[in-house]
Amino acid sequence: MVLFIVCALHVGDATSATAWLHSVGQQLEALSTTTRIPRRVELCQPQSIEPYLLCDRECYLQNIALCKEKIEAGDSYEICLTNRVRVPTQATDNAQLFETYLTLREINPAPYACYLKDEQCSILCSSPERFLKIDRRGQVEARPIKGTMPRDPDPERDAENKDRLRSDKRFFSENLMIVDLLRSDLSRSCVPGTVTVPDIMKVESYATVHQLVSTIRGDLQGSVSQCIARCFPGGSMTGAPKRRTLEIINDIEGEPRGVYSGAIGYLSINGTADLNIVIRTIVIDKDHAEIGVGGAITYLSDPQQEYDEMLLKAIAPFSAVAQLINVDVPRPSPVLAEDVAI
């Protein structure tokens, strides 16, 4: 493994930059080189997650019904409804937090994973989804995920799940609407006529799920920051049309999602950027670990299937954080639908 230490500096400020690079290099060299033995973590069952849902089954099914009412009334085509799993945790030190992150990566290897920590909280992310990438040539790429099926240890059933993901009309409509939304978002910041969809409805398989992924590209016209602002928040976590659907989500969910469904990544001084969508993520503060989960609701959605899909997406992060559960702390009371401002 090779590590690169990078420092941006003002002209004439080389002395302090060199000192910083030397200091960081010494700290890295002092780190233990002991080989870590991966932990074998059994994946939890969906029923293990249910006691920790802030919006329990009845609440979530009622929220799905509200989404379908809005869709039937013509207010939206697709509403990306979310829920939260909140787990009381024991006091954790830096080593425990990082060990939990490594466990999450082992359970759910993903290309846009990251670990962030400050004084208030720690973010343990194993996201498989790209929000936006902008390269040196000015090509913009979005890769929304819509459509999820579980993996199965039996190869034949696993293949059947993949086939269903490709052929199910509900998953097709979910993905197609988000592709159209992203085409619209990119067209606001790309050269006219350059927005294309080179891959549509492609199945990608991860440790616990199969996902339906599409790719939308265009040639940047204008600034990187302007493009990101025009596309934010990611359409795969909002629905379509975006503005009206965000208003509906705000009314139904009742409070901000936090970092979940936002974006983590980098913006470089060379004009490039790469940002993920914050899913499959654990946010840990001094008392609780929180996991955001959800799914896209369309007119064709089956409420029980949507509820099951929401739990499926929580399995990997919940299994990683289960080791931190403080069993002496009472489990949280669920938020009932009538307690949420509609």
**Set 68, 70, 78, 146: catalytic member:** 146
Catalytic residue from among 129, 174, 306, 309: 129
Total residue count of the chain as it appears in this document: 342
| H-helix or E-strand spanning residue 214 | strand 209-219
How many other CB atoms are there within 10 angstroms of residue 51's CB atom? 12
What is the rounded distance in angstroms from the CA atom of residue 88 to the CA atom of residue 247? 31
129 a catalytic residue: yes
Q: Residue 225's beta-bridge partner residues?
A: none
Angle subtended at Cα 181 by Cα 178 and Cα 182, rounded to the nearest 5 degrees: 90
Half-sphere exposure (CA, 13 Å, Cβ side) for 19? 4
**Cα torsion at 333, 336, 338, 340 (round to 10°)?**
80
Cβ pair 125, 204 in contact under 8 A:
no
Lookup: tokens for 64: 């799905």
Amino acid (1-letter code) at residue 157: R
Torsion sign over Cα 193, 194, 195, 197: positive
Q: Is the distance from CB of 270 to CB of 135 less than 8 angstroms? A: no
**162 annotated active-site:** no
Triad 62, 63, 69: Cα angle to 5°: 90
Active-site positions read 129, 146
